[in-house]
Amino acid sequence: MTARRDIEAITERIRQRSRPGRERYLGRIAEASNRTANRAVLSCGNLAHGFAVCSPSEKLALGADTVPNLGIITSYNDMLSAHQPFETFPALIKDAAREAGGIAQVAGGVPAMCDGVTQGQPGMELSLFSRDVIAMAAAIGLSHNMFDAAVYLGVCDKIVPGLVIAALTFGHLPAVFIPAGPMTTGLPNDEKAKVRQLYAEGKAGRAELLEAESKSYHGPGTCTFYGTANSNQMLMEIMGLHTPGASFVNPGTPLREALTREATKRALAITALGNAYTPVGRMIDERSIVNGVVGLHATGGSTNHTIHLIAMAAAAGIAITWQDISDLSEAVPLLARVYPNGLADVNHFHAAGGLGFLIRELLDEGILHEDVQTVWGEGLRPYAVEAKLGADGGVVREASPRESGDEKVLAPFKKAFQATGGLKVLSGNLGHAVIKTSAVKPERRIIEAPAKVFDSQQGLNEAFKAGTLTGDFIAVIRFQGPKANGMPELHKLTTVLGILQDRGQRVALVTDGRMSGASGKVPAAIHVTPEAVEDGPIARIHDGDIIRLDADAGTLEVLVPAGEFALRRTADADLIGNEFGFGRELFAGFRQLVGRADHGASAFGTA
């Protein structure tokens, strides 16, 4: 009961804080719904351009404004495994729309980049900014005002948050998110990680490393570890933007196709032309956002969402903070162990009972808000199900199993892996930071050691190769924040620091950069804010300063007398090399406009 009261209190705190922004937002979408949410406002010339390639019957229906028209926003490309399956979705959606008496058109495409491809490369510095570009690209597609609802085809790291921002910006339209699903299980993630470590130590060659990586990332679908991409899918389902049970069904299967057809028909059913009008801007409220944070904690999800959820909520006029996220962590137990928080992948998680089981456990204990609106209707309880293929080829749903199929992967509430969530916010004289605790052993969650300071991830990697990273230490990697260079993900550091930890050294990381949902067994205080380029305290750390990271107490401190530390000059870094090449010169405006990590690292401002 205490946890339930705490969640109610935090939700009410968010509601009160958000009231002015939320009221302005709801007023805007009400005005949009009343004045512009149909094609009747378009001139004949507007309409002629909008349906020029449609069939005569479709032109007649669209001109008379008598049938719903569904806009498709797609992130398809055929380079990235997670998005390649979307190639065939528009034709499938159009066919399903016709069956339901509606029309569907591809409204626009959005870019979809992969942090896995750009990891450690210059292109990674565009990754976080791509979220806002995706939101803007989707907005351009929807700006034609031809649509009564929209479906969003997206999966991976920045794509889904960007699409959510766009959907909420067009909050007068119903929105259904349609996933592609995870790839089938390949080489186990822990075996892949071992080969990475051997390669970093010079004990395996490039051919062996490439073979291991290729066996792990081997076909269409999302990568199978529980990083940002799969955390996205969990969020869309627990926030009610997917149809029930849709998240973790593999691509290219009859059930995946049936779910896509069903989602199309549901999107058409909830337009203003019918009796179940569900504008997404009203549907997503403070309770929905809190449910998303609860799901993130209960599954040990991606640290990236401590940034993205703030930006997503802001698009709906809702103001959440890192403190809200941290306080919710204290009320939510960890119920899932999926790599890097365990050895299982998302396919194992799904087979053990998946989101349906987890949602039911949390609802039964009052840890989730049940009284929410979803694309499926009223209440979250209909999501405590398993989706299966019916005899007629359609989707049928059964109540999720009462027992987990594997309690080492998915625990019932009363056997939670830990009493608190998998994420924690740290505070102290270095500012604020985020740490993912679910993959870190309890005995490694407190470390006090001298700092080794670097102004780039390359600096630490070179020190490793030179053999100078000896003894216990806390690596400080600064000038990696959003204003400095776009806040790239520093996942490659996991391998180096993991090797040193395995050798018996006590090590940790402190950075104003990102580390993603793939951050693993090494304690990492990430997203440090204020960042170094804004004269944050991280820019005053010297080599040898003792830093104390205490993930249990939620503190991050440099143990230097306050007066001495305050008088230190902040370090400077030459960032000219981060300003040009691989398109980085085009994003100078983003680096100037972007907000702090704890404000969502957005170029659009806050709620």
SS (H, E, C) 107-176: EEECCCCCHHHHCCCHHHHHHHHHHHHHHHHHHHHHCCCCCCEEEEECCCCCHHHHHHHHHHHCCCCCEE
Residue 520: inside a domain, yes or no?
A: yes
Residue 502: inside a domain, yes or no?
A: yes
- DSSP labels, 337-387: -BTTSSSB-HHHHHHTTHHHHHHHHHHHTT-S--S-EETTEE-SGGGSEEE
What the block records as the tokens of 561 is 């007398």
What mean pLDDT value characterizes the chain? 93
Question: Would you give the DSSP letter of residue 389?
Answer: E
The predicted pLDDT at position 607 comes to 63
The predicted pLDDT at position 370 comes to 98
Query: What CATH number corresponds to the domain at position 495?
Result: 3.50.30.80
| Cα 358 from chain centroid (whole Å) | 18
The predicted pLDDT at position 422 comes to 80
Instruction: Report the pLDDT averaged over residues 375-387.
Output: 97
Q: Are residues 341 and 469 in the same domain?
A: no
Residue finishing a domain among 367, 399, 431? 399
Q: Are residues 230 and 359 in the same domain?
A: yes
**pTM assigned to the model:** 0.95
Q: Are residues 393 and 482 in the same domain?
A: no
- CB-CB contact of 107 with 135 (8 Å): no
Residue 22: inside a domain, yes or no?
A: yes
Tally of structural domains, the chain: 2
Q: Are residues 353 and 286 in the same domain?
A: yes
Q: Are residues 383 and 447 in the same domain?
A: no
Question: Would you give the DSSP letter of residue 437?
Answer: -
Residue finishing a domain among 365, 399, 433? 399
Q: Are residues 118 and 225 in the same domain?
A: yes
Residue 191: inside a domain, yes or no?
A: no
pLDDT digits (tens, 9 = 90+) for 154-163: 999 999 999 9
Residue finishing a domain among 345, 366, 399? 399
Residue type for position 567 = L
Q: Are residues 361 and 242 in the same domain?
A: yes
Q: Are residues 267 and 359 in the same domain?
A: yes
Q: Residue 220: name the closest of 92, 117, 87, 82 by CA.
A: 82
Residue 569: inside a domain, yes or no?
A: yes
CA dist 146 to 38, 88, 105, Å?
7, 23, 9
What the block records as the tokens of 607 is 């709620």
More confident residue, 451 or 200: 451
Residue 189: inside a domain, yes or no?
A: no
- Helix axis angle for 254-269 and 89-99, nearest 10°, is 50
pLDDT digits (tens, 9 = 90+) for 235-249: 999 999 999 999 999
Structural domain of residue 261, as residue ranges?
A: 5-35+67-184+219-399
The predicted pLDDT at position 334 comes to 96
pLDDT digits (tens, 9 = 90+) for 6-55: 999 999 999 999 999 999 999 999 998 886 556 778 888 888 888 888 88
Q: Are residues 324 and 445 in the same domain?
A: no
Above 70 in pLDDT, residue 376? yes
The predicted pLDDT at position 38 comes to 66
Percent of the chain with pLDDT over 70: 98
Q: Are residues 452 and 490 in the same domain?
A: yes
Residue 196: inside a domain, yes or no?
A: no
pLDDT digits (tens, 9 = 90+) for 504-531: 999 999 999 998 655 678 999 999 999 9
The alpha carbon dihedral of 523, 346, 304, 115 has a sign of positive
- CB-CB contact of 429 with 540 (8 Å): no
Residue 323: inside a domain, yes or no?
A: yes
Q: Are residues 488 and 385 in the same domain?
A: no
- Tell me whether residue 114 is annotated as binding: no
Q: Are residues 373 and 448 in the same domain?
A: no
Q: What number of CA atoms fall less than 13 Å from residue 455's CA on the CB side?
A: 14
- Tell me whether residue 156 is annotated as binding: yes
Instruction: Report the pLDDT averaged over residues 575-601.
Output: 94
